[in-house]
Structure 1
Amino acid sequence: MGHNINFNEQTGKYSFFSVQQKAWHNLGQIVSDYPTSAEAIQYAGLDFTIAKQPNTHNLPSGKSIESKTSFFTYRTDNEAVLGASVGKDYHIVQNREAFAFFDAIVGGGDGILYETAGAFGQGERIFITAKLPGYIRVGSGEDVTEKYIFLTTAHDGSGSITAAFTPIRIVCQNTLNAALKGMSNVVRIKHTAGAKQRLEDAHKVMGLADRLSVELEGIFNNWASVRVSDNEMKKLIELALCPNKETFDLLKKGAQDELSTVFKNTVQDAFAYAMMSDTQQMETTKGTLFGAYNAVTGYYQNVRSYKDDEAKLQSLIMGGTAQGKAQAAFDLCRGFADAGADIFKFN
């Protein structure tokens, strides 16, 4: 798997840092203590600013016209172009302003710890993860999930600023993202003139994280007590990983022979993870509904291959395939907890 982590030719370093743990692909900086935001920005190579200039249109006559509606963004330190076409109302949110979101919470005494940060490509997308105090504990307490806030923003006009509550199960590093009914785990902020102010106000994610933590702990502990057979485990995995209506209709008919080889192999890999992974042999996961949920999230986190780390991040956290499938697994497991195997009785 590749990485697409930004390499700064001026400093000769990769734009990534991690606390205590080995940095991705042995790239970037490993630090022993949790840094301040100012230190994290430097460690991650994010201490650059972004500027915006109007695009210039060169005409056949040799004249040039400066656009009033089309602009490009670039780094001021090395003049790398990040976004070739953004609108006149596009508001740049500097990297330091992204960290200010966390600093406002730290100032409140909540004990947020910066754990990773970095940039992809030329620096057009940055990300920050910060650990929140406390844990989500399942079972007797050995199965522990840490709580994080993840923030990412793009400087090329391709997306909004996104801040999300992201639980990570320690024993296998599964990202357990799931939105509860009527409650999203994500706050999105547009790159408009008011973006900076709204970014500063986005500490409402903290309240969201607190509420989600309490609810998820209750749900996961309930699932750890619900037994599922191997056959039910596989059916839950099949339904969660189902890619389209055609596949669903074949599952509904029980036409296993007509399923695509790609889909059957994906299900088999996830089921093998459910049956054989050490983290699936714990009291909380072996033959349980919580284990079925982790079979899907664990497959995408620890088994599936990705083009590079940015693609993995997109899939797991930023609304991509893995997050969608994790949500499907979450919803199916909630249905199984309520109705049991009746959820497999198709109408």
Structure 2
Amino acid sequence: MAHNLNFNEHTGNYSFFSVQQKAWHNLGQIVSEYPTSTEAIRFAGLDYDVLKKPVFINGIDNVIGADGVLIEGGDLPVPNRFGTYRSDTNEAFDVVGKDYHIVQNRDAFAFFDAIVGGGEGILYETAGALGRGERIFITAKLPGYIRVGDGDDVTEKYIFLTTSHDGSGSITAAFTPIRIVCQNTLNAALGKMSNVVRIKHTANAKQRLLDAHRVMGLADMMSAQMEGIFNEWSKIRITDSEVKKLIQLALCPNKETFDFLKKGDEDALSTIFKNTVEDAFSYAMMSDTQLMETTKGTLFGAYNAVTGYYQNVRKYKDDEAKLQSIVMGGTAQGKAQKAFDLCRAFEKEGNNILQLN
């Protein structure tokens, strides 16, 4: 699986750090203790500023402008366009508009420190840069857990942040609970509460970034609600056939497939869809993490069948694609949300929501 981590030829290091455990790509710096934000920036190779300069067209000939005035040859400035680049290597990122505001890497870490007050309790776990350093990412563990049942089924609470320096996207911070036993990301929107905050690179982006921790305070509220919901689901029984039907509905890609399911015409279903359902169902039935007291034959286990399939079974072309799919609002997150909504409906109405005929 490709990594696209930035390799800084100036230092001879990859721009990535992880606490205690090596990442799958075995690159970057592994540290034994959770670092401060200042240390994390250095370990991840993010201790550079991003600058911007006006864009010029070089070496043009004398031309007559639209107003009939002679423009002498040489370097001609491009109106309202600026190039972004990093201060340590002078590598160029891309061209941005006049209203684009740079959010420095240290500002992104300041966002995390502000969440729990001066960094107390925040644990920086990974951080790094991609490409030429134009995109950075940070994951940090929040205090506390989501506990399901009386045993060891524990979910840790993370916040993930990514931002770019090339004008390609907004600053995005996402609350990402991860079930420890199988590393499932259990993202779900609860009503009108979203687990994602997006901030544009406008003139007040830095201030909005510093203020975003107020919105991310929803993480605590979401954690409490999710803990209550998951504990309730761990007590609701569901048959194997109902699990498979729920998986089919959650993974259904389009109306045509839904109509085939409604008619009971499984022979008309695409091979890709049937294989996907079988892989998710096999995970639901055979994975060790699906045979726990909280998951075996329970509605919580049915939900985990979908999230676990995307996290632990499905293949992705690279790590960025997996990240986009699971955390950043891609296919996996959408399907997990569908599974969550189906489980909420099953909780209230029973298997009536699975009867399509």
Residue number in structure 2 paired with 1:309: 319
Q: 1:204 aligns with which of 204, 214, 218?
A: 214
Say which is worse superposed, 212-221 or 237-246, in terms of deviation: 237-246
User: Which aligned pairs between 1:89-238 and structure 2 lie closer than 5 A?
Assistant: 89-107=99-117, 110-238=120-248
SS of equivalent to 2:292: coil
**d(CA) in 2 for partners of 1:53 and 1:345?**
61
**d(CA) in 1 for partners of 2:111 and 2:27?**
26
Q: 1:72 aligns with which of 80, 83, 97?
A: 83
Residue number in structure 2 paired with 1:82: 93
Which residue type is aligned with residue 309 of structure 2? Y
Residue number in structure 1 paired with 2:346: 336
Q: TM-score, normalised by structure 2?
A: 0.93
**d(CA) in 2 for partners of 1:194 and 1:82?**
21
Task: Report if the CA contact (8 A) 2:160-2:174 is conserved.
Answer: yes
How far did residue 54 of structure 1 move? 2.6
Q: TM-score, normalised by structure 1?
A: 0.96
Aligned length: 346
Task: Report if the CA contact (8 A) 2:53-2:83 is conserved.
Answer: yes
Task: Report if the CA contact (8 A) 2:112-2:119 is conserved.
Answer: no
How far did residue 58 of structure 1 move? 5.1
Q: 2:262 aligns with which of 242, 252, 263?
A: 252
Q: 2:334 aligns with which of 286, 304, 324?
A: 324
Where does the alignment leave 5 or more consecutive residues of structure 2 unmatched? 62-72
SS of equivalent to 2:225: helix
How far did residue 115 of structure 1 move? 0.8
Task: Report if the CA contact (8 A) 1:164-1:205 is conserved.
Answer: no
Alignment of 1:282 with 2:292, yes or no, is: yes
Larger Rg: 2
User: Which aligned pairs between 1:253-272 and structure 2 lie closer than 5 A?
Assistant: 253-272=263-282
How far did residue 137 of structure 1 move? 0.3
How far did residue 63 of structure 1 move? 4.5
**d(CA) in 1 for partners of 2:147 and 2:120?**
19
How far did residue 25 of structure 1 move? 1.2
Task: Report if the CA contact (8 A) 1:16-1:23 is conserved.
Answer: no
Which residue type is aligned with residue 76 of structure 2? I
Deviations 1:223-274 (A, max 9, x none): 1111111111111111111112221222122121111111111111111111
Say which is worse superposed, 70-79 or 95-104, in terms of deviation: 70-79
**d(CA) in 2 for partners of 1:59 and 1:344?**
68
Task: Report if the CA contact (8 A) 2:36-2:119 is conserved.
Answer: no
**d(CA) in 1 for partners of 2:126 and 2:278?**
33
